[in-house]
Amino acid sequence: MLRALSRGTLPARALPVRARRRRRVVLAAVVLAGVLLIVVLVTSLAGSGNSGVSTVGGNASAVVYQAGHRPLAPEFTGTTLTGSKLSFSSYRGKVVVLNFWGSWCVPCREEAPILAAVAGKYQPSGVSFLGVDVRDTTASALAFTHSFHVAYPSVIDQSSAITLDFTAKVPIAGTPTTLVVDRTGHIAGAVFGTVTYPGLTAIVAKVTAEGG
Amino acid sequence: MTDVRAPETDPFDPAAEQDDHPRPGPSSPGAAFGPADWLKWGWRQLTSMRIALILLFLLALASVPGSMLPQQGSNPSGVQQYYTSHPDLAPWLDRLGLFNVFAAPWFAAIYLLLFASLVGCVVPRTFRLAGSARTLPPRAPRHLARLPRSAEYTTALPPQEAVEVAARVLSGRGFRLRRPDDADSSQDWVSAEKGYLREAGNLLFHLALLGVLVSVALGGLFGYKADRLLVQGQSFANTVSALDEWHPGRFVTAADLGPFTIKLNRFDASYIASGQQRGQPSSFDARVTYTEHPGGPARSFDLDVNRPLSVDGAKVYLIGHGYAPEFTVTDARGHVVYKQPTPFVAGASGNFLSEGVVKVPDAQPEQLGFTGVFVPTAVNVGGTLESVFPAADNPAVSLIAYAGNLGMDSGAPQSVYELDTTAMHRLTASPQVLQPGQSLKLPDGRGTITFTGYVPWVSLAITHDPGQLPALICGIASLGGLLLSFMIRRRRVFVRARSGPSAQNGTTVQVGGLARTDAGGGFEAEFAGLAAELRSAHEQAAPVPPGQPPPQQAAQPRHEGE
Amino acid sequence: MPVNVALGHVSNAFLIAALVIYSLSVVAFAGDFAFGRPRRAAAAAHGQQARDRAAALASVGAASAAGAAADQAPAPATASAAPADDAGTMPELAVPALRAIREAGRWIVAAVAFAMLGAAAHTTAVITRGLAVHRAPWGNMYEFVTALTCVAAIFFLFAMIRYRVWTLGVFVMGAVVVTLGLADTLIYTAPGDLVPALQSYWLDIHVTAMTLATGIFFVPAVLGFVYLWVDRYTRRVAAGQAAPGNGIVRRLPTIEQLDRLTYRTIVFGFPVWTFGVIAGAIWADQAWGRYWGWDPVETWAFITWVLYAAFLHARATAGWRGRRAHYVQLLGFASLIFNILVVQVFIAGMHSYSGVS
């Protein structure tokens, strides 16, 4: 009864059949788009928490930057483990192997003999090796260098400030990380994770062979 | 928020006036039920109230295990413990995704379907609402007395004027009006409708919920969470390799981290010293200095549990704190091979009884390791050291020494809070207790470990969530929509005026009204007030001249059942 | 600031007083069942209703009351099957509240008086507790339950007087007495300070909203049980398994009235609960770094919200109205109670501020 009372002829509602069909299509399209949007969002949400966990020395990946596409290594100064002051600018003109490490870091301990071997091979030809000791203390770090007979200096980076500066240029995601800087002070190659002897020597040999 | 889908018999549902939902059936007469028809049927089922209801139940039910079982995201150590205490059951639960319910695909399927149902229902109704913004109320029915609410009285005004007065009153009350057009035979009526905002509020509520979901997804894709433990006196630069935990969203890279540096200058915690709440913390205070970028000006901030630091688009929260006893270890050759504060983590026993580990991988000739218990206020209870108060009023440390292979020289990374003693042999027969300043001399001249003191540490959470503000706005919008849909009711009022009952008696004015699903109540009161206002407006426009008897008034408000 | 122990004792005293006075009101409500005026006796109430309505709408020019009553005698058929006395409508307008109370009988007058007095004492207890601890008095479970029962009592008194449902008083006030008594005996906590994590103005906003919402939801929960009881009795009568004319049920409001009252109270509480969840999310973001982390208490607050939303949907779904909808509503309240009693106390999470060890 109420229905009969309140239903009257409403001219605005009587659309032609084609317009109604068109409107239905538009409606269906909008609804479908909305559902698809939800599906896309949700599937990209699920599992997003698992991606990107930093691999500390996990799967290593090596990158070589072509000449002209090399990021400029930032300047830094610091104190070495033995207490002397060191400035990175003093290394300009030489090939530098820059190794970010810590005495607490298991993969760093694993790669230490490899680094020592590479250093033994290339230091005589003028390649410099420099360590950046992150999140560490002097006593433990010095003990590490004695254990592994590290023959090159390391700069203290307790707060990771130097690491932060370099992360702006290359995507450093964990420790260890090894960078190879060319004679012009640009980062020519990087190993994110544990170095391997053939992998690191290949990069060092290539950068050393460049004119300079 | 009733009736997202109106029942078919509802006179207010525009859908009832035109068939927007064709009944499922073969596309062409005589044909079998094809796939398109199945899709249509499926879609119609999905967007029905019944399915929405079932999905709501499923959503509630599916959340229950997520609250009862330890979850990987918030309590990974709890999950580990569950594995050790239920070794047979745990792998099955893991296969079903019950240790990470809220990221599980079946949970996503439930709210995905629910929101699909919501979108499929709400979007067409939004279009309909937009369309109805111009449609007029229906014509006034002939017999207003049959409506749920009605009133009748007489006035001296001629019918057309009476209707004009009524129209003005209703218009003044915010009603949308419809007058008879010229073709109408019965000229003297006006229809009025009000309360369109109810449906708008309803739709706003549901769309805002969708907005919350989208905001959460935004945050998950473009935001990140990170943790860092910081010992008093230390500082850290915000880069991935300096963080203890790093959980970026899908589209977040390490370059998105703001380049700030934070130094923990000082951390103080005070505890209630007496009374029933003895031992409960009364205040925390972490004084930090921070720079927004390298080389920037240093600023100081008081970080507190309810007061995070906003810097570089991220927020830094004080999550927890503890004690880091300081140890100095000299090895067999007399070299100092370890000299640092070591964070210990408080256990469940209370009063900050904390456990930790010291690893000395470069001690010569053999690597050393120590497991320790730090007791802030130590009291010897029947041979065991217990902590009776969380402040460090009487600190002591109990150590067990090991020598051998820590397992750090190759293989997987280790936790800094756990010592793997499988390749080590124990040096001390029983735990040795040290007061600050005391040393433990290791047997066979292997060296000494000295407990030199302690400093506090804090744990910080660094988060960035671009979906946070949109989620808040959508939440508030949903609340607004909810209130609108609950408080406003859609109602129609009709006024008819006709001459009569006799020429001398002026005009009979009939007022009728109905409200759609007036389960919220109140229309009775509104209608009575409206009828009274109309009557007084008519009286004011045409007062009864003196000397004439007042016309017979037979006003009988009739109330039909709701 | 040190806790004002004296005021704490004052608060306890007022709470005991409230318990005693509430009990007296429950006795009076029960007495109304046994000895009070008959309710829903068809003709008398019917005529009274008509007279009331005519009197109220006198400004619209009511004719003689007899004429009005005669016109209304053919009870209009309604969608409900209930007889058309004061069953079908909510006579809010008809008679002013005080007169309605008086006309309900001496027992009701006494019961309402005791209930209001008890509510005043209860409110005083809550306020003095807040003054004693220099903060909003819902910082642990004891204070929370005390406050929510106060909200429930006051809310119910409003609803009862507004809709003249005197006969529901014994159930709701009885439930209030039992809950308050259990709280006072089992989980009493002396006044004390809050842990630092709770020292934020968001405490006042979030927990206040939750306290209000829980107190409001308390009422439809009790009414839900009454509904189910009356519904079961009605069905049994229809099936011939029970004799009609049960004295208690006859005095209760009809199924439709109960349903409508339950719906209106839930409609009142649902936005408050929604606001409480949003405020909790804002506070969680301030304190814990994320606005939603599926913490057990958060999850159960979400479950409660979903169940009440399901109730609102059920009422609009064919086949789910009536009894089934009330099952849903009661399930929602059960999840709320489970959240307070079990999840906050036993399940480790970041919400463990109950003060109960």
Find chains touching chain C: ≥3 CB pairs under 8 Å: B
Count of pairs with CB atoms under 8 A, one residue in A, one in B:
213
For B368-419, write each residue's pLDDT tens digit.
999 999 999 999 888 788 899 999 999 999 999 999 999 988 778 888 899 9
pLDDT value of residue C308: 97
Half-sphere exposure of C347 toward its Cβ, with a 13 Å CA cutoff? 24
For B149-194, write each residue's pLDDT tens digit.
888 888 888 888 888 888 898 989 889 998 887 766 667 889 999 8
Among C60, C79, C275, beta carbon nearest to B557: C60
Asked if B277 and A90 touch (Cβ cutoff 8 Å), the reply is no
The conformation of residue B313, written as its DSSP 8-state character, comes to: T
Band (pLDDT 50/70/90 cuts) for residue C250 is: confident
Q: List the structure tokens of B93.
A: 């639960």
Residue with tokens 């020597």: A201
Q: Which has the minimum average pLDDT: B348-362, B397-411, C36-50? A: C36-50
Residue A158 with chain B: CB contacts under 8 Å: 234-235
Band (pLDDT 50/70/90 cuts) for residue B560 is: very low
| CA gap C115, C110 in Å, rounded | 8
Band (pLDDT 50/70/90 cuts) for residue C151 is: very high
**Global confidence as pTM:** 0.79
Do chain C and A touch: 3 or more Cβ pairs under 8 angstroms? no
Asked if B490 and B176 touch (Cβ cutoff 8 Å), the reply is no
Among A3, A24, A103, beta carbon nearest to B9: A3
Band (pLDDT 50/70/90 cuts) for residue B28 is: low
Residue B467 with chain A: CB contacts under 8 Å: none
Asked if B4 and B485 touch (Cβ cutoff 8 Å), the reply is no
The verdict on A35 touching B (C-beta cutoff 8 Å) is yes
For B319-342, write each residue's pLDDT tens digit.
889 999 999 999 999 999 999 999
Provide the pairing of β-strand A96-101 with B224-231.
Answer: unpaired
Provide the pairing of β-strand A154-157 with A128-134.
Answer: parallel
Q: Which helix (H) or strand (E) holds C144?
A: helix C141-163
pLDDT value of residue B503: 60
Residue B359, helix vs strand vs coil: strand
The verdict on C2 touching B (C-beta cutoff 8 Å) is no
When the pLDDT of each residue in chain B is averaged and rounded to a whole number, the result is 84
The length of chain C is 357
Q: Please answer yes or no on whether C199 and B306 come within 8 Å at the CB atom.
A: yes
- With CA atoms as reference, the chain B residue closest to C296 would be B67
Residue A41 with chain B: CB contacts under 8 Å: 213-214, 217, 221
Chain B interface test: which of C299, C321, C342 (most B C-beta within 10 Å) = C299
CA B391 to chain CA centroid, Å, is: 36
pLDDT above 80: residue C31: yes
Among A47, A103, A106, beta carbon nearest to B103: A47
CB atoms within 10 A of CB B348: 6
pLDDT value of residue C122: 96
| CA gap B249, B313 in Å, rounded | 15
Residue B339 with chain A: CB contacts under 8 Å: 137-140
Among B17, B115, B362, beta carbon nearest to A13: B17
The length of chain B is 562
Tell me the nearest-neighbour CA distance from B59 into chain C, angstroms: 8
Q: For residues B517 and B107, which has the higher predicted lDDT (pLDDT)?
A: B107
Residue C67, helix vs strand vs coil: helix
Looking at this predicted complex, what is its ipTM?
Answer: 0.80
Burial, B46: exposed, middle or buried (Cβ in 10 Å; 0-12, 13-18, 19+)?
Answer: middle
Q: Please answer yes or no on whether C196 and B305 come within 8 Å at the CB atom.
A: yes
The length of chain A is 212
Among the residues of C239-295, which ranges form H helices? Answer: 247-251, 255-288
The verdict on B276 touching C (C-beta cutoff 8 Å) is yes
* Helix%, strand%, coil% for chain C, nearest 5: 75, 0, 25
Say which amino acid occupies A170: V
- Considering only residues 202 to 221 of chain B, which have any Cβ-Cβ distance to chain C shorter than 8 Å? 216
Q: pLDDT truncated to tens, each residue of chain A (212 aa)?
A: 334 333 433 344 455 677 777 777 777 777 777 777 766 666 655 544 433 222 333 456 888 888 888 999 999 999 999 999 999 999 999 999 999 999 999 999 999 999 999 999 999 999 999 999 999 999 999 999 999 999 999 999 999 999 999 999 998 988 999 999 999 999 999 999 999 999 999 999 999 998 64
The verdict on C289 touching B (C-beta cutoff 8 Å) is yes
Burial, B312: exposed, middle or buried (Cβ in 10 Å; 0-12, 13-18, 19+)?
Answer: middle
For B445-496, write each residue's pLDDT tens digit.
999 999 999 999 999 999 999 999 999 999 999 999 999 988 888 889 999 8
Q: What percentage of chain C exceeds 70 in pLDDT?
A: 79
The verdict on A77 touching B (C-beta cutoff 8 Å) is no
The verdict on A19 touching B (C-beta cutoff 8 Å) is no
Find chains touching chain A: ≥3 CB pairs under 8 Å: B
Q: For residues B232 and C249, which has the higher predicted lDDT (pLDDT)?
A: B232
Q: Please answer yes or no on whether B236 and A159 come within 8 Å at the CB atom.
A: yes
Residue B414 with chain A: CB contacts under 8 Å: 106
Residue with tokens 């004061």: C86
pLDDT value of residue B1: 38
For C342-357, write each residue's pLDDT tens digit.
888 787 665 544 443 3
Band (pLDDT 50/70/90 cuts) for residue C211 is: very high
| CA gap B440, B428 in Å, rounded | 10
